[in-house]
Amino acid sequence: MHTNSYYIKRVMCASVTTLTFSTKTENLIGKPYQIVNTEEEDDGDPVVNVCDSQIYCQGPILAAANLFGLYNDSKDYVDQPLKDYPNITLKSFNDTFLDPQTGLYNYTNVTLKSWIDAHFLPPGDELDNCTEILIGWTDKPEKLSSRIADPELREWAFKLHGIWKELCKKISANVANHSELHSLIPVPNEFIIPGGRFREFYYWDTYWVIKGLLASELYKTAENVILNLVSMLHKLGFVPNGGRVYYEKRSQPPFLIPMVYEYYENTGNKTFLQMVLNDLDTEFNFWQTNRSVVVNINGTDHTVYRYNTPSNVPRPESYKEDLATAKNFTSNAARKQLWRNLASTAESGLDFSTRWFKDHLTLSTIETTNIVPVDLNALLCWNMNLMEYLANEAGNTSMSAHYHYLRSNFTNTFDTIFYNQEGAWFDYHLENKAQRYCAANDTSCFYPAIAVPLFASCYRDVDLRKPEKLFLFINNTGAFNYAGGVPASLIQNSNEQWDFPNGWPTLNHMIIEGLRKSENPIAQEQAFQIARKWVLSNYRVFNATGHMWEKYDVIDPLPHPGSGGEYVVQDGFGWTNGVILDLLMHYGDRLFINDCTKDSTSSDVDASNINLILVLFMGTFVVYFKL
């Protein structure tokens, strides 16, 4: 019996649902719950599992636990620690359920649940609280005390600051000593979890966590959190999606270099910078080596980047969901490509959004590996710029010169591939060999990704009109018109969490920061107005629910937590708290609770007055901005 070469059938027997696993190579194409055949095939696409674990990443126990519906959330199974070693657990499973004569596993949901309860501990059992090791803790940090004018907002900030104690975790001694019993990957220091079902750290979440920790003056914790990611880099050669073994084949948006930049700018700790500089170079090289693709435009080759994970099996943490998405696919090759696209979208952090769907409607048409995302490329452009600066600060002039050269060339590539003269940046489609452009009045056009080049400053200094033109383009889509902030798209009724009506802290923060850092006063004022909406709507929801949330419905004038996606909305919440604390660092002197009464259902900056306002504010720059 090869435990990684099996098929699955669902058999209904009266009121009892029984699963039978067969190693026979019978044709089950089109049956509802078929697992991809892991034997060699002629499609030239060998199966790539997400990790080697026969408990957490592949094997009959993972399949049975999910297909029997024992868990409302697939992630609960893969987060459970084992009570005994994996080989002993797997042998027990086979001894209990496998019929050696037929090669079939036979059990009911009752016997299976009883066996799992006997061999696994509850999820979350592997983490310890770390209240006592938050070095430098004070209940009311000076930054929050001095930069927030409104007393109610200041008290709220202190409460959010206090939540770090709840979200701060450390690996238990059992995980450190017996990592084979856990899906959690051991790291040396404390870390901040998002909250809710997310019982581990996540890569791109950590950037906004770092921003919040720096506002809270928890500099040592910020340093330790970064060092955890560096330890993952040493282990895997890149920073994975998160701190579990089932994330070992995919990453997330590249924010390690920006994290170190933010930490260094706040602390001036050159010793730390010099210690991790080569690791940052390794992280960038991972993307350059493993996620690059060449696009030819008018006879010139351009190297750009995409999300493209090697795994092509169901994600363990979303196992039953991925099987359901593939149920109408008629070949193993098609299923494997679907699962690669689903995992690659998880690598983007935006899982899921109609942005990645071929028909802008249906998850099964997902084609993420065919898309060259403008935001990923803008972030890597930013990484190049930051590496030039950080290497120079660390005294490595040759590395600094190398990244200066890379960015100088890449800004030309970036304009060529992504910029459209309508005034915005767009994704590029590899198969169609064209930008995914659409007009501002097309509701399928707007995604916050188009603003990330401003956030990442990936445009030449002489391009003075680009911030203004982007502001006008987004303004014309209507995306600025909502009461609680900017939605993740304008695609309605998709039921995907990274679509309308949800607004996300990360996306709103990048839009705000991109507009704020521009030299255009109109864009800067719009940044403040979005920040005002976001902060005050978050405040109102906190007062109503007592919690911070991962996402919010930004459409309803009465703000509330978001919805949609593969799981219910989660509270906590690491990156949400970090975004609020950072925005209060920038705008705390201008934000007041009584602003909640201001009408914010339409765009706060009148684009028709841009000529007049620009003349008043910009003076000699009118020649560059006049419309």
Main-chain phi, psi angles of 591, to 5 degrees: -100, 135
In terms of DSSP bridges, do strands 127-129 and 168-171 run parallel, antiparallel, or are they unpaired?
antiparallel
Contact by Cβ (8 Å): 64, 19: yes
Identify whether 550 is a catalytic site residue.
Answer: yes
Nearest to 98 by CA among 199, 183, 23: 23
Tokens of 304: 């750009």
Main-chain phi, psi angles of 498, to 5 degrees: -95, 40
Q: Report the alpha-carbon distance of residue 459 to residue 116 in Å, rounded.
A: 54
H or E segment at 62? helix 60-67
Residue 80's contacts (CB-CB under 8 Å, 6 or more residues apart) are 116, 120, 121, 122, 123
Amino acid at 369: T
Concatenated DSSP letters of 366-378: B-GGGEE-HHHHH
Q: Report the alpha-carbon distance of residue 484 to residue 349 in Å, rounded.
A: 22
Main-chain phi, psi angles of 429, to 5 degrees: -105, 120
Contact by Cβ (8 Å): 564, 497: yes
Question: Which candidate in 351, 388, 513, 582 is catalytic?
Answer: 351
Q: Report the alpha-carbon distance of residue 226 to residue 213 in Å, rounded.
A: 12
Q: Report the alpha-carbon distance of residue 280 to residue 297 in Å, rounded.
A: 31
Residues of 16-49 as b/e, b for ≥16 C-beta within 10 angstroms? Answer: eebbbbebeeeebeeeebbbbbbeeeeeeeebeb
Q: Report the alpha-carbon distance of residue 115 to residue 164 in Å, rounded.
A: 37
Tokens of 122: 């509850």
Tokens of 276: 């991790």
Main-chain phi, psi angles of 156, to 5 degrees: -65, -45
User: What is residue 84's three-state secondary structure?
Assistant: coil
Question: Which candidate in 550, 553, 566, 582 is catalytic?
Answer: 550
Q: Report the alpha-carbon distance of residue 339 to residue 319 in Å, rounded.
A: 10
Nearest to 40 by CA among 336, 315, 282: 336
Give Rg (Cα) of the chain: 25
User: What is residue 128's three-state secondary structure?
Assistant: strand
Contact by Cβ (8 Å): 427, 449: yes
Sign of torsion over alpha carbons 89, 92, 93, 98: positive
CA distances (Å), origin 617, targets 162, 512, 525: 40, 20, 12
Nearest to 194 by CA among 506, 574, 617: 574
Main-chain phi, psi angles of 552, to 5 degrees: -135, 150
Contact by Cβ (8 Å): 153, 593: yes
Give the orientation angle of helix 151-167 with respect to helix 205-215, to 10 degrees: 120
Query: What order of strands is seen across the sheet that includes strand 428-429?
Result: 371-372, 428-429, 434-435
Query: In the Cβ-directed half-sphere of 583, how many Cα atoms lie within 13 Å?
Result: 31
* Catalytic residue IDs: 351, 550
